[in-house]
Chains A and B, each alone.
Chain A
Amino acid sequence: MTTEIRPGSTHTPASRAWRAINRVLFYAILMFVAALVIVPMLYAVLSGFRSTGALAAAPLGLPDPWITSNYTEILTSGSFWQAFGNSALIAILSTILTLVTSSAAAYALARFQFRGRNAVFNLFTLGLLFPLSVAILPLFLLLHTLNLLDNPWGVILPSVAFGLPTSIIILRPFFRSIPSEIEDAAAMDGCTHFGFYWRILLPMSRPALSTIGVLAVVASWNAFLLPLVVLSNPETHTLPLAVRDFNAQYTQDTARVLAFATLSMIPALLFYIAAERQIIAGLGSGAVKG
């Protein structure tokens, strides 16, 4: 932070000059940081349009001529789309399963009185203290026993399980804040508990659910450790694993690797642009609100 610019301060020419300098400096620093972020990504995008030979000769040059073969060959080869499909399948199923299981559990924990309720809730919050990496080796053996290695469910089930504590902690207060008069009225109209959960509670909780869903998609799409351990067969690999495979396979063909990296970024970037509000609100609210 350089300085705050205050409308109420004095207006001598010197201070005006200072303010102008500050303003320029302020923008210059922000532009510099933005450039630091953008340039590596732009380098990947543009280098994908060059040949590896041109890239080696002048790493910083612009595409001249623009070569599209790196991109088109990847897009027509099948391995990219296979990884994309694997990632999409795992992300969609993980997200649906996260929403269903965490909302059902949060409903039970928010709106029913039963013995052991707090114990169950505390059990879930305990999960926050232990990251996946602590459990990954036994998990590998467990998935081997369950015959879930090289199987999308071997990634989906543990990642849903590890995401439950956060989701339940976000959802429970939300469900609690819905007035019980609504539930009573629904009950009088003959609505069952399930009917209330499905037709009233979930639609009313759409903001919280979309936060959880969006965070689940991002987490699943970018997951690395779990897929790395569970999926050894290349045909089952998700996009992050495929990027690594491709880099290992085409070590000498830098331009092609960067084209693949670029293509692997696009779905995440599109999702980010579409759901930016939910992603940022979700991450922010998780940290600030009680």
Chain B
Amino acid sequence: MASNIAATDRLAAGVRQDDGSAGRRRSLRQSAEIALFLLPALLLFIVFVLIPLVEAVYYSGFKWNGLEPLTNWIGLGNYQRALDDQFFTGAIAHNVFLLVLSLGVQQPIALALALALSRGFRGRTFMRLVFFTPYVISEATIGVIWLLVLQPNGPLDQILGAVGLGQFIQLWLADRSLVMTTLFVVISWQYFGFSMILYLAGLTQIPHEVREAASIDGANGAQALRYITLPLLGPTIRVAVFLSAIGSLQVFGLVFIMTSGGPFHASDTMVTWMIEQGLTRTALGYGAAMAVILGAIGLVFSLLYQRFVLRRDIEGSVTSFAG
């Protein structure tokens, strides 16, 4: 491919040698064309992505409500404030809690379901359709439905009572020690299908022959899983784990809808607390500092993960998982 481009390039260069002025006109024209193709995307990206990102870093150095002139430079003051803010450090802890449970509980379940669905049986297409459905519904709708399912004496409590588990009924969203676990369950309910789809896609890439060969060599199901399927699924698992971890740091919509970070900050995440401070209380400088910390945590995690975990996978797979 690259050689083809190089060839056309040489061709263009040849044209340029034949007739200097016409060639220059042509290359000027070509530059203009490239600019026309590239500029709309580049401008959008610079204006709405890069500039706000840089501005977040800049604003984070000011004590600022967003209205007055930007004059009150306090250096790292907002960062100091964030580290001293027990609600922000608590929010980080909540994100880490979600991250650990996502990797430890949600991913294994998604993987197990993908392995189950990768077997041929009647109804698997229907099952896959069902399992993925929550992912395509908005977090707002799912949040509202679960809010009502979980309300005291609501349908969930009724079901528990009806099957004789009444003593396990809790204040699912109002109990400070339980609320994050409840939210984790709802988040997993919505997103396990996404990881499952990734695993299924990875499983279809494993040639049947490999598993057949293992079974001919006398490997039982567990052995084939342990020594054949899981190792070959490695790249997919590493990407799915990465996406799940990054997603856990970004949690916002479901929490915002269901608890708004309550009761009394027991379920704040980094983003809900940043939005609360930055927009509701117009502490924009402080909010920006939290955004930068959030971005930095994600960035450091991404770089370390790519350096130490994704490194062994084929080049290119690292840059194409963002779907």
A140 neighbours in B (Cβ, 8 Å): 279
B89 neighbours in A (Cβ, 8 Å): none
Inter-chain CA distance A37–B113, complex, in Å, is: 13
Picked from B137, B149, B250, B316, the residue with its CB within 8 Å of the CB of A265 is B137
Give A contacts to B, CB under 8 Å: 1, 3-6, 8, 26, 29-30, 33-34, 36-38, 40-41, 43-44, 47, 58-60, 100-102, 104-105, 107-109, 111-114, 120, 123-125, 127-131, 133-142, 157-158, 160-162, 164-166, 168-170, 176-177, 179-180, 183-184, 193-194, 197, 215, 218, 221-222, 224-225, 228-229, 239-241, 243-244, 247, 254, 257-258, 261, 264-265, 268-269, 271-273, 276, 279-280, 282-290
A290 touches B4 (CB 8 A): no
Picked from A44, A139, A166, A271, the residue with its CB within 8 Å of the CB of B322 is A166
Query: Is there a chain A Cβ closer than 8 Å to B253's Cβ?
Result: yes
> Contacts A4-B225, A40-B149, A290-B314 known; A164 to B5 CB distance under 8 Å?
no
Minimum CB–CB distance for B44 against chain A, Å:
4
Picked from A38, A58, A137, the residue with its CB within 8 Å of the CB of B291 is A137
Interchain residue pairs with CB less than 8 A apart (20): A3-B222, A59-B153, A102-B41, A123-B45, A128-B322, A134-B292, A137-B288, A142-B47, A157-B47, A169-B320, A170-B323, A271-B136, A272-B136, A276-B129, A283-B194, A283-B198, A284-B198, A287-B201, A287-B239, A290-B320
Please name the 9 residue pairs, one residue from A and one from B, whose CB atoms are nearest each other, closest first.
Answer: A286-B323, A4-B221, A284-B201, A290-B316, A105-B41, A240-B140, A161-B48, A138-B55, A135-B52
B38 touches A287 (CB 8 A): no
Picked from A105, A136, A183, A289, the residue with its CB within 8 Å of the CB of B40 is A105
Query: Is there a chain A Cβ closer than 8 Å to B83's Cβ?
Result: no
B277-315 contacts to A (CB < 8 Å): 278-279, 284, 287-288, 291-292, 294-295, 298-299, 302, 314-315
B33 neighbours in A (Cβ, 8 Å): 112, 193-194
Query: Is there a chain A Cβ closer than 8 Å to B245's Cβ?
Result: no
Of B5, B225, B240, which is in contact with the most chain A CB atoms at under 10 Å from its CB? B5
B48 touches A184 (CB 8 A): no
B154 touches A129 (CB 8 A): no
Inter-chain CA distance A195–B54, complex, in Å, is: 38
Picked from B53, B131, B162, the residue with its CB within 8 Å of the CB of A33 is B131
Query: Is there a chain A Cβ closer than 8 Å to B262's Cβ?
Result: no
B5 touches A243 (CB 8 A): no
Inter-chain CA distance A36–B127, complex, in Å, is: 12
B131 neighbours in A (Cβ, 8 Å): 33-34, 37
A108 touches B38 (CB 8 A): yes
B200 neighbours in A (Cβ, 8 Å): 284
B116 neighbours in A (Cβ, 8 Å): 1, 26, 29-30
A224 touches B139 (CB 8 A): yes
Known: A104-B36, A139-B52. 5 other contacts (CB 8 A): A4-B224, A41-B134, A142-B47, A162-B48, A254-B148
Minimum CB–CB distance for A28 against chain B, Å:
12
A137 touches B48 (CB 8 A): no
Minimum CB–CB distance for B23 against chain A, Å:
15
Inter-chain CA distance A38–B319, complex, in Å, is: 35
Minimum CB–CB distance for A273 against chain B, Å:
8
Minimum CB–CB distance for B257 against chain A, Å:
6
B66 neighbours in A (Cβ, 8 Å): 141
- Give the interface size class of chain B: 35 or more
B323 touches A166 (CB 8 A): yes
B322 touches A101 (CB 8 A): no
Inter-chain CA distance A111–B143, complex, in Å, is: 45
Inter-chain CA distance A244–B139, complex, in Å, is: 10
Query: Is there a chain A Cβ closer than 8 Å to B97's Cβ?
Result: no
A37 touches B134 (CB 8 A): yes
A104 touches B320 (CB 8 A): no
Minimum CB–CB distance for A263 against chain B, Å:
10
Chain B, residues 23-63, CB within 8 Å of chain A (1/0): the string is 00000001101101110111011011111110110010000
Nearest CB in chain A to that of B112: its residue: A1
A108 neighbours in B (Cβ, 8 Å): 34, 37-38
Inter-chain CA distance A215–B143, complex, in Å, is: 22
B201 touches A288 (CB 8 A): yes
Inter-chain CA distance A123–B44, complex, in Å, is: 13
Inter-chain CA distance A149–B116, complex, in Å, is: 47
B222 neighbours in A (Cβ, 8 Å): 3-4
Minimum CB–CB distance for B87 against chain A, Å:
17
B155 touches A43 (CB 8 A): yes
Inter-chain CA distance A142–B53, complex, in Å, is: 11
A180 neighbours in B (Cβ, 8 Å): 1, 4-5, 7-8
B205-223 contacts to A (CB < 8 Å): 205, 215-216, 220-222
B239 neighbours in A (Cβ, 8 Å): 287-288
A218 touches B136 (CB 8 A): yes
B56 touches A135 (CB 8 A): yes
Minimum CB–CB distance for A260 against chain B, Å:
8
> Contacts A286-B322, A286-B323 known; A137 to B279 CB distance under 8 Å?
yes
Inter-chain CA distance A239–B180, complex, in Å, is: 26
